[in-house]
Amino acid sequence: MLYNKAWRAIAYQLLAMTLVIGTGVYVVLNLQDALAARNIATGFGFLLQPAGFAIGETLLPFNSTDAFWRAYAVGITNTLFVSALAIVGATVVGVAVAFMRLSRNPLLSGVGRAYVEGFRNTPQLVQVIFWYALVTRLPHPRNPFVPVEGVLVSNRGLYLPAPAEQGAWFWALIAACLGLLLALAYLRHGERRRHETGRVRRLWPGMVLLVLVPPLLAWWLVGAPTAWVRPELQGFRVVGGFVFSPEFIALFLGLSLYIAAFIAEIVRAGLNAVSQGQREAARALGLKAWQIQRLVVVPQALRVIVPPATAQYVSLVKNSSLGVAIGYPELFNVNNTILTLSGHVLEAIAIMMAVYLSISLAVSAMMNAYNRSVQVQER
Amino acid sequence: MAEASLRMAPRPPGAVSALRERLFGSRRQGLLTVVAGFALAWVAWQLVRWAVLDAVGPGGTSQACAAASGACWAIVGEKWRLILFGTYPLEEQWRAMLASGLMLAGAALSGIPRLWSARLAAFWAVLLGLVLVLMAGGVAGLPEVGTNAWGGLPLTLILFCCTVTTGLPLAILLALGRRSDMPVVRAICVTLIEVIRGVPLIAVLFMASLIIPLFLPTDLTVDKLLRAQIGMTLFFGAYAAEVVRGGLQAIGTGQYDAADALGLGYWSKMRLVVLPQALTHVLPALMNDILRAFKNTTFVSIVGLFDILGATKTAIADPNWIKYAPEAYIFILVVFLLFCTAMSAYGQWLERRLEHADKL
């Protein structure tokens, strides 16, 4: 029986299970002692109690009498906000650097290469802290740098003009998102019609209309507000307008510029993976240069690009937790404060891990769905 | 005559004319070159002015820096000892230097493919044991130095070397477990890998430093450095496990069948047949993870250790020098750039070597 493979497998698994359960019991017993000794409370009831601390930078309204769960909501929205903007930034910079590296011009390809090597071969955390130190070197708000009228750059942040009635612009933004979705649906529908009927119709006028009309209509419906508030110096502080804090700017730069170096390499590899024959064949069919890119090169390159790029975006979202090093109130940072103030160490860590896990899994799931839609359809 | 015709043969384009063709081949290329050239020259000139012409050298003072409009390298001259060696006692600094040298030499030796064997593991166990004894002291007349005084480059290197040497075996075990036929073992490995890969490294380090004390008997304390090391090892192990799994999947079933036919047991089959091929296959990818582990050592500064970044933060806390923090960070960015560029060049060399081996 000792030499029977199946029996041995069962014995190994029993052993593994015993080890895991044994460690679990040992840990829980110790945990109970530790919690009792340190007077640490347990349970999730604390989420409804007032937080008792303020958060410097919030997208949702928050003050110290609000409950702990609202503090989590603020941290999560900040994490999502900085990550979303940084993903856009990383993609734009990454694609630009990839095209520079692919350029035949040695000056451009040299700059692209230097960018990739420099940003990839230094730690992201040092980059974030370096940007933060650099932002604090900017001029004092009393004597700000003004690149364009109404924009103030100082060591207290980047101040931009903001619309006076933000509610109206919110509806316009929602309408713009809707219009974009409609335009994409129209494009798909048009392409399907082309496949069915073989007739080529111009799609772009309809798409432009669909993108432009809904936000304009929404803006007009809420009373067509045109007033803008410019940031102005009053005494020692700047009042009015929209502000990006130094912490936000440093974290945004640290996240987007670092990941851009990896995105650039992924995009370059993806474009290189499309064989020259594909381009030649497309030219032989009489496609124009931009049609070759849009219809032949990009769809094939995307299949190579999307999976590794997804991994980079997930890594970007997780590393937004580096905000803790410079004091940007994202989830990890807020969680630290909550953990210290409430004393609910285990619950706080469990909530934080659950949120990061679900964000990672959600981004992966979205990208996997997209990936399926661009996969080769074998006939 | 023959000689003449040879001389007449068209010469292949030389390097200079090829370069001219790429720079000024067409009107568009030429314009691009001129515009980009001017922009680059301007940026380079500004950088040279800031970093060299208007700068205060490492021998300067903070007063000189306040008067100058360029960079203040005086902070590096003033604080390099603190940045590179932390608060390790000055008269014992040779030990920290020797430990760093030993680890660097060990890492360089480990890069030579001819030396790759199971004996490398034993070599690192001895080397790291020696390094830890050298750093901690308390034997052979060396004064004791607590881990809270360890800092700077030696600490960064210790964390890095320990992460790789303990994380790789963990990664191999996790990868084998994930591909095991036994559902319980597989479930344990999958959960561990996916949970660790789903959360940020800081969260793992934080958990290790906060939760481990809660999970152990109250009278048992674990050193802060060791707790951080456990977190680093788990994180590296989980990522590297997925790389190793990729290598295991690339091995054809014929190899397994052949090993079975020879009558090898599971561990001999893995050790002698499967793993050597799988690991060779994923070496470049593994090198990427190792490079990332090196950059990730900086995260321990957030849980209160004084690695090279943590030590730099202490150095710039000095009110006389706090204004010149960017220069201090540029200094450690350059240090990291040197190490990481060397590692990445080595990784590319490995990749080319592997491609060459595949073609044979």
Average pLDDT over residues B154-166: 93
Q: Return the ∠ at Cα A189 (arms to A184 and A190), rounded to 5°.
A: 95
Tell me if B336 and A122 make a contact (CB, 8 A cut-off): yes
Q: Which of A253-262, A267-276, A298-307, A358-367 is predicted least confidently?
A: A358-367
Average pLDDT over residues B60-85: 84
Task: Measure in Å the smallest separation between the Cα of B212 and chain A Cα atoms.
Answer: 9
Q: For chain B, give every domain's residue range.
A: 14-67, 88-305
> What is the rounded CA–CA span in Å between residue A38 and residue A70?
27
Q: Return the ∠ at Cα B114 (arms to B108 and B118), rounded to 5°.
A: 85
The pTM for the full model equals 0.86
Average pLDDT over residues A251-275: 93
> What is the rounded CA–CA span in Å between residue A132 and residue A328?
11
User: Looking at beta carbons, which residues of chain B come within 8 Å of A137?
Assistant: 323, 326
> What is the rounded CA–CA span in Å between residue A132 and residue A116?
21
Average pLDDT over residues B63-78: 83
> What is the rounded CA–CA span in Å between residue B296 and residue B200?
11
Q: Which of A239-243, A306-310, B31-35, B105-109 is predicted least confidently?
A: A239-243
* pLDDT higher than threshold 80 for residue A266: yes
Residue A139 has a CB neighbour count (10 Å cut-off) of: 13
- Per-residue pLDDT reduced to its tens digit, A55-98: 777 777 777 777 888 888 888 999 999 999 999 999 999 999 99
Task: Measure in Å the smallest separation between the Cα of B144 and chain A Cα atoms.
Answer: 31
Nearest to B274 by CA among B301, B244, B299, B309: B244
**Residue B1's pLDDT band (boundaries 50, 70, 90)?**
very low
To probe the interface with A, which of B34, B199, B221, B291 has the most A CB atoms within 10 Å? B199
Of B199, B201, B302, the CB nearest to A357: B199
Which stretches of chain B are DSSP H helices? 2-8, 15-24, 27-48, 62-67, 74-85, 93-110, 119-136, 152-178, 183-198, 201-215, 224-249, 253-261, 266-269, 275-296, 308-315, 325-359
* pLDDT higher than threshold 80 for residue A165: no
Average pLDDT over residues B261-289: 86
* pLDDT higher than threshold 70 for residue B148: yes
pLDDT of residue A123: 94
- Per-residue pLDDT reduced to its tens digit, B331-346: 999 999 999 999 999 9
- Smallest CA–CA distance from A108 into chain B, residue: B36
Mean pLDDT of chain A: 84
CA distances from A25 to A10, A22, A233, B216 (A): 22, 5, 61, 11
Kind and range of the H or E run holding A262: helix A246-273
Tell me if A17 and B184 make a contact (CB, 8 A cut-off): yes
**Residue B43's pLDDT band (boundaries 50, 70, 90)?**
very high
User: Looking at beta carbons, which residues of chain A come within 8 Å of B195?
Assistant: 353, 357
To probe the interface with A, which of B196, B329, B332, B338 has the most A CB atoms within 10 Å? B329
* pLDDT higher than threshold 70 for residue A179: yes
Of B22, B183, B333, the CB nearest to A106: B22
User: Looking at beta carbons, which residues of chain A come within 8 Å of B36?
Assistant: 105, 107-108, 111
Task: Measure in Å the smallest separation between the Cα of A252 and chain B Cα atoms.
Answer: 17
With b for 16 or more beta-carbon neighbours within 10 A and e for fewer, the A208-238 pattern comes to eebbeebbeebbeebeeeeeebebeeeeeeb
pLDDT of residue B215: 76
Q: Which of A78-82, A140-144, B133-137, B272-276 is predicted least confidently?
A: A140-144
Q: For chain A, give every domain's residue range.
A: 5-38, 68-164+227-374
Domain B88-305 has CATH 3.30.56.10: no
With b for 16 or more beta-carbon neighbours within 10 A and e for fewer, the B178-212 pattern comes to bebeeebbebbbeebbeebbbbbbbbbbbbbbbbb
Task: Measure in Å the smallest separation between the Cα of A31 and chain B Cα atoms.
Answer: 5
pLDDT of residue A253: 95
User: What six digits make up the tokens of B265?
Assistant: 């047991």
Q: Which of A30-39, B154-163, B276-285 is predicted least confidently?
A: A30-39
User: Looking at beta carbons, which residues of chain A come within 8 Å of B35?
Assistant: none
* pLDDT higher than threshold 80 for residue B192: yes
Average pLDDT over residues A207-232: 80
Task: Measure in Å the smallest separation between the Cα of A317 and chain B Cα atoms.
Answer: 9
* pLDDT higher than threshold 60 for residue A332: yes
ipTM of the complex: 0.87
Percent of chain A with pLDDT over 70: 94
pLDDT of residue A129: 94
To probe the interface with A, which of B298, B308, B316 has the most A CB atoms within 10 Å? B298
- Smallest CA–CA distance from A132 into chain B, residue: B326
User: Looking at beta carbons, which residues of chain A come within 8 Å of B217?
Assistant: 30, 33
Query: Per CATH, which fold does A68-164+227-374 belong to?
Result: MetI-like fold (1.10.3720)
**Residue B329's pLDDT band (boundaries 50, 70, 90)?**
very high
Q: Running DSSP on this structure, what letter comes out for residue A43?
A: S
* pLDDT higher than threshold 50 for residue A159: yes
Nearest to B294 by CA among B347, B349, B257: B347
Cβ neighbours of residue B12 closer than 8 Å, sequence gap 6 or more: none
Specify the amino acid at residue A263: I
More confidently predicted of A379 and A226? A226
Percent of chain A with pLDDT over 90: 25
